[in-house]
Chains A and B, each alone.
Chain A
Amino acid sequence: SQTIHQWPATLVQPVGSPLSLECTVEGTSNPNLYWYRQAAGRGLQLLFYSVGIGQISSEVPQNLSASRPQDRQFILSSKKLLLSDSGFYLCAWSVGGPRGGGKTQYFGPGTRLLVL
């Protein structure tokens, strides 16, 4: 069965510091990968998605970036965090391949980020 991991689970960072959140998926090959952010009491906002190694699509322009160095690894980064970057960051995966679109997305446990 497929599993998705995120770490760290929680993170407290000062404003202006760098960020690196990691997501890995097991039990599937060539998945589509996604990064979402969820503000407190709100729905999910898609930040980035990737259909393959090195392929990143950005949905929201901001000081965050994403990278996919390996097939089942997705990284969310920032060079300088802002207070507004605080939130719950969720990684998700879906079945990939030529017919990978329009498929159910499965979420990881999330990383809670607090920027002070």
Chain B
Amino acid sequence: GESVGLHLPTLSVQEGDNSIINCAYSNSASDYFIWYKQESGKGPQFIIDIRSNMDKRQGQRVTVLLNKTVKHLSLQIAATQPGDSAVYFCAEMGGGSNYKLTFGKGTLLTVNP
């Protein structure tokens, strides 16, 4: 069945470095992707989204890249800060459902001061 997974379960970076979090998805019919940030004990917070008709989208300090050929999604965080420490989830939607988000398992990002 459809699945969204992450290559790296944990990522540790130094403050000020750039971070790259990767995600693979298996449903080629997915047409909408979202990155969420979840801090301990809190609900997921929307970071950025991208539709399948785009391959790159930029936000404040974040960039999402979508490679439909290899079904790969990445989140780049520039100048990573301690406040960026959290679990990051990718989620996909589509393939016949406009309501169901399928989430990956998450990557724990730790920023060292």
Number of interface residues of A (CB under 8 A): 26
Q: Are A44 and B93 in touch, CB under 8 angstroms?
A: no
- List chain B residues, Cβ under 8 A from A112: 41
In the assembled complex, the CB of A42 is this many whole angstroms from the nearest CB of chain B, namely: 6
Q: Quick one: closest A residue to B42, CB to CB?
A: A109
- In the complex, what distance in Å separates the CA atom of A92 from the CA atom of B36? 13
- In the complex, what distance in Å separates the CA atom of A56 from the CA atom of B106? 28
- List chain A residues, Cβ under 8 A from B98: 100-102
Q: Are B43 and A110 in touch, CB under 8 angstroms?
A: yes
B interface majority secondary structure: strand
- In the complex, what distance in Å separates the CA atom of A106 from the CA atom of B36? 10
Partner of B42, one of A94, A105, A110: A110
- In the complex, what distance in Å separates the CA atom of A75 from the CA atom of B46? 23
- In the complex, what distance in Å separates the CA atom of A44 from the CA atom of B41? 14
Q: Are A43 and B103 in touch, CB under 8 angstroms?
A: yes
Q: Which of A74-116 contact B (CB under 8 A)?
A: 90, 92, 94, 100-102, 104-110, 112
Q: Quick one: closest A residue to B87, CB to CB?
A: A41
In the assembled complex, the CB of A89 is this many whole angstroms from the nearest CB of chain B, namely: 10
**Could you mark each residue 85-112 of chain B with 1 if its beta carbon is under 8 Å from any beta carbon of chain A, else 0?**
0000101011000111101111000000
**Could you mark each residue 32-51 of chain A with 1 if its beta carbon is under 8 Å from any beta carbon of chain B, else 0?**
10100000011111100101
Partner of A46, one of B36, B46, B101, B104: B101
Chain B residues with CB under 8 Å of chain A are 31-32, 34, 36, 41-46, 49, 89, 91, 93-94, 98-101, 103-106
